[in-house]
Structure 1
């Protein structure tokens, strides 16, 4: 049985939080990538502090233009623990295993929080708003991974990036289902350059 492990000891990213990476194919997978280069010697924590978590929420959770109230340290710890529960569920699902009770409890608790509410603006745009934006964003993540992990057709397209230095998971939406890289512009391009260099 797979269970949630203690959060890894990692080296924080220095300086202000940069814009977080998107493009893994699902919200929960983009969230997992906040532990960058997972399982490699270069592993780095991107949710380094309350400001970083607030920035992630602004990017992925709510988009109504209101400031995200600064999370506290406990919310940062909870977000990291949820991320590890998400990863535990995905790896268990890929192995045909059942995630352990600690991860299951954490995922269910996060999923139970209200999600951001869509709202039509005067200009005709739709924004998402919440009075508790951090909990709402984490609820979106938890609900998304529960859907992914219990959808066999989608799970069959979940891939680890082929780069040995990446550690990311992504959903392969390509028609033939043969995508190898989380990002062709980054990991795929590096692999091509390394291949060319090896042949020279």
Structure 2
């Protein structure tokens, strides 16, 4: 008797940049409750299927374990690069090792766009996971050296701190997602107001 295949997990999206969405795969970074979402090769493949540019149902084979390890190294290098870029020293303050890691991944081929006979744009790659990792690295390099970096915010939600690109006109967005952290903050505020009212 064979066990049923586990459904693909769902990852958080909506940060506004693929490199920022990728950083979210380590939840609660730096805290005692930090949680690794890329806990196996299939998880990385699931992330690429969900957030990569490939058509729904496209074949994305799970990578080898060493690719998973390298993918995590890229994520931490991207974090180091963007942390440095957001600081007073700018991207030049990025540690050399992190810079070399991001540059190395960025040098690899990215998914190639192609228009089919029905007018549908599709992306293809000989190595789908590797190609998306290259796209993440390139996106991080572009963001780190772009004026858009000034619009990168840290979510104000309790126990979140995920980064996102604030594209709102006033530049006052506070949460990574209104459906999650924003909604939770509003509920907490409403409960606090009710409690304060009952106390009087």
Aligned pairs, number:
185
Structure 1 residue 62 displacement after superposition: 4.2
The superposition leaves residues 14-49 of structure 1 with CA deviations (integer Å, 9 ceiling, x where unpaired) of: x76512111001010000001122233332111110
Higher relative contact order (CA 8 A, sep 6+): 1
After TM superposition, the runs of 4+ consecutive aligned structure 1 residues lying more than 3 A away are none
Task: Report whether the alignment pairs 1:92 with 2:72.
Answer: no
Query: Are residues 1:120 and 2:111 paired?
Result: no
Rounded to whole Å, the distance in 2 between the matches of 1:37 and 1:172 is 20
Q: Contact 1:63/1:128 (CA < 8 Å) preserved in 2?
A: yes
Q: Which runs of 5+ in 1 are unaligned?
A: 1-14
Per the TM alignment, residue 161 of structure 1 is displaced from its structure 2 partner at its CA by: 0.4
Matched, 1:78 2:70: yes
Taking structure 2 as the reference length, the TM-score comes to 0.87
Flag the structure with larger Rg.
2
Across the aligned residues of Structure 1 and Structure 2, the Cα RMSD in angstroms comes to 1.4
Provide the rounded CA distance (Å) in 2 between the counterparts of 1:17 and 1:84.
24
Question: Match of 1:127, SS?
Answer: strand
SS at match of 1:156: helix
Residue aligning to 2:159: 165
* Structure 1 length-normalised TM: 0.87
Between Structure 1 and Structure 2, which shows a larger proportion of helix residues? 2
Counterparts of 2:157 and 2:109, CA distance in 1: 37
